Amino acid sequence: MLGEFDLIADFFAPLAANCAGALGLQDDAAILQPKAGRDLVVTKDLMVAGVHFSEDDPADLIARKLLRVNLSDLASMGADGIGYALGFAAPPEMDIDWVQLFCAGLAEDQKIFNVSLIGGDTVQTPGPLTLSLTAFGDVPAGQALKRSNAKPGDLVMVSGTIGDGVLGLDIKVGKWPELSVTHQNNLRARLQLPEPRLALGYSLRGIAHGAADISDGLVADLGHICTASHVGAVLDAVKIPLSEAAKAVAPMDANEFTSHLITGGDDYELVFTIAPEDRERVGEHSAVHGIPLTEVGQIVAGDGVKVLGADGRPIKLVQRGYRHF
């Protein structure tokens, strides 16, 4: 049981040991020393047990997803990661092995992404485990990628493959039993351990007009870019890049399946818009970073996101994207 341990000293402080400004997690606050000529980028995501993850998911994967969804937000701003503050509201019956594994997951990803725990707060809750992470990154001053500069005529690009997150959720509840174990495992892994596209994000500084990470679903997040930029977008369903696992699904209705993949969320790929003349430059970045990029549509005057099916006619979407409320 947690009560017998000093959570901060025993488990969290080691994660802050290499960051002088964390003050050993012994002080009232942490100190960040901003580098000259750089803006600080700040993002915050909450995850609640039973809503955003299952209580029986491995603790290290929960921790890593929590960190990665926040790093994905930094990626979509073109920022480099610096560190994070962790809010940890835990039920009293939580056991110490769980916390140990949770912190091992954070330690693993701290190394991979070169970030450090800098501070936070631990409290008890009568409710489910609730995790709140605030991540910090930085970019050269004025160069953060925003959602608000997409222009009619821009190409809409996405990284990686789309829809694996929601298929991973499907697999968890026993859907698509015809898929091979390998495909099922790949989809589950995409859901549990997303890949924040940090290297891509900062290669797009000065190039992307509008950028977002795909957490609520491609249509919804592209929609956010459109709203912020006062433009519309047209997506070509047939161009949307699918993983081998997604291709192996044999749905009853192709358009309905596409709609499922592009409105399901939890992909943590980047969607961004560029001027057509930058297409080649972006292709080079894609090759350098080994991250597949695909042109999936266009920005147009107007508003909203329209999706065209194989026959060139608009697909009716079942929903627009993940709703938080």
Of residues 51 and 238, the one with the C-beta less far from a second copy: 51
Could you give the C-alpha distances from 202 to 84, 144, 227, 253, in angstroms and in order? 19, 9, 23, 38
Question: Is the Cα dihedral 269, 274, 278, 280 positive or negative?
Answer: positive
Of residues 28 and 280, the one with the C-beta less far from a second copy: 28
Least CB distance to a second copy at residue 163 (A): 20
Least CB distance to a second copy at residue 79 (A): 7
Taking the C-alpha atoms of residue 212 and residue 245, their distance in angstroms, rounded to an integer, is 24
Of residues 44 and 279, the one with the C-beta less far from a second copy: 44
Least CB distance to a second copy at residue 179 (A): 30
The label of the residue with tokens 């955003």 reads 52
Least CB distance to a second copy at residue 47 (A): 8
Taking the C-alpha atoms of residue 205 and residue 144, their distance in angstroms, rounded to an integer, is 7
Least CB distance to a second copy at residue 142 (A): 9
Of residues 53 and 257, the one with the C-beta less far from a second copy: 53
- Tokens linked to 292: 């597949």
Sequential DSSP letters for 60-76: HHHHHHHHHHHHHHHHH
Least CB distance to a second copy at residue 284 (A): 25
Per residue, what are the HEC states of 97-125?
HHHHHHHHHHHHHHHHHCCEEEEEEEEEC
Of residues 227 and 298, the one with the C-beta less far from a second copy: 227
Query: What single-letter amino acid sits at 238?
Result: V
Closest residue by Cα to residue 160 from 48, 261, 59: 261
Of residues 137 and 168, the one with the C-beta less far from a second copy: 137
